[in-house]
Amino acid sequence: MANIINFLPKETAIIALILLSLRLMLRIGIVGLGYWGPNLVRNFNNLTDAKVTCVADFDEKRLARIKSNYPAIETYASAEEIISRTDVDAVVLATPIKTHYELAKKALENNKHVLVEKPLATSNAEVTELIEIAERMGKVLMVDHTFLYTGAVRKIRGLMDEGEIGELQYFDSTRVNLGLFNPNWSVIWDLAVHDLSIFDYITAGKKVAGVSATGISHTKMPIEDIAYITLYFNDNTIAHITSSWISPVKIRKTLIGGSKKMVIYDDVEPTEKIKIYDSGFSVSTPEEMHQWLIDYRFGDIYIPKLEQTEALLGVAKDFTKAIMEGTRPVSDHQSGLHVVTILEAAQKSMLGKGKLIEI
């Protein structure tokens, strides 16, 4: 862009530069300073074309901590104070799930671009309405599915796109650990949301036909702390997700089986997160039952080097770019819609103890 400016008359160039500088420095307000909020502040603050101008939280101590680290940021006790400002271009919501719909709606209607922590909202209906408002207002509505910005998940998507994996046969993901019970939402809204967003991304939005889910609560609250989700499709792919808050060890392991290769993505591994197996099987059609044959293939294993940049910085950049250049973010509202739709169906299926919910 600097090149173009060189060819403009001097006065025009100056005005263009001023406009660019004004436009380029996106003014961000961040709502919610719990666990994730300060990370958002830090990453948005590291961008060259955006700055965090204000934050909101009901907790004064959290506000004070931000103020001491970033004296230029203004602090507010409520989201509404940020949403109603005209000198804020975009709002980032890192608040509890149940507030997402209402705050995002208000922000969009107040002419703000909106980035929402995962999950985007609590139901297909809520997300659908938010998307309509965003489109009507011409604003970016994006969800923070952070894993889509990791080197590991991007690598898998690349392998899928290039046909390295072949036809997808199965996706089996386990995400368990001890801790972080959420008193409002079952474990799938906290953990399976990651696996579902990864699945949706690496398959470029493969359409889910039905959901069967099971789970249990070990407290007196009707909130499942262990849950299992199976996704059915219109072909013979299957996806399964295990979520638990009461495992003695932390496991983040995803097996992806294709007709050509298989991948194991182990996010707990510090350096060898992705292993690509040149293994598989092919079926020869039997003429007689007992001649039915399978050929197995056990081959080399390949561990690619992955990009190491912080995923959340990628989220911040993608949101900013979507606003400024009109691009579609990787973790866009369609991703948010797909994930919430499945979570809602899974929750319903768990009530029916595995009952199939068609989508």
Q: Rounded to the nearest whole angstrom, what is the least distance from the CB of residue 277 to its own copies in the complex? A: 4
Q: How many binding residues for its own copies (CB under 8 A)? A: 68
205 touching its own copies, by CB under 8 A: no
61 touching its own copies, by CB under 8 A: no
Is residue 322 within 8 Å of residue 335, measured between CB atoms?
no
Report the residue from 23, 218, 328, 348 that binds its own copies according to the rule CB under 8 A: 218
Cβ atoms < 10 Å from Cβ of 97 = 19
Q: Rounded to the nearest whole angstrom, what is the least distance from the CB of residue 70 to its own copies in the complex? A: 11
353 touching its own copies, by CB under 8 A: yes
Is residue 124 within 8 Å of residue 340, measured between CB atoms?
yes
Q: Which of 134, 90, 100, 106 is nearest to 120 (CA)?
A: 100
163 touching its own copies, by CB under 8 A: no
Q: Rounded to the nearest whole angstrom, what is the least distance from the CB of residue 349 to its own copies in the complex? A: 7
Beta strand pairing status for 280-284 and 293-297?
A: antiparallel
358: Cβ–Cβ under 8 A, 6 or more apart, which residues? 209, 210
Q: Which of 355, 312, 346 is nearest to 42 (CA)?
A: 312
Report the residue from 13, 137, 356, 359 that binds its own copies according to the rule CB under 8 A: 356
Footprint (CB under 8 A) of its own copies, residues 271-290: 271-272, 275, 277-281, 283, 285-286, 289-290
Cα Rg, the chain, nearest whole Å: 23
222 touching its own copies, by CB under 8 A: no
214 touching its own copies, by CB under 8 A: yes
46 touching its own copies, by CB under 8 A: no
Report the residue from 46, 299, 307, 327 that binds its own copies according to the rule CB under 8 A: 299
Which residue type is seen at 256?
I
Measured between its terminal Cα atoms, the distance across the chain in Å is: 45
Q: For residue 89, which phi and psi values (nearest 5 degrees)?
A: -90, -30
Question: What is the token pair recorded at 185?
Answer: 């939402």
Q: State the DSSP code for 46.
A: T
> Contact residues for its own copies (CB under 8 A)?
169-170, 172, 176, 178-179, 181, 183-184, 210, 212-221, 226, 228, 230, 232, 236-238, 240, 242, 244, 246-249, 255, 257, 262, 264, 271-272, 275, 277-281, 283, 285-286, 289-290, 292, 294, 296, 298-305, 349, 352-356
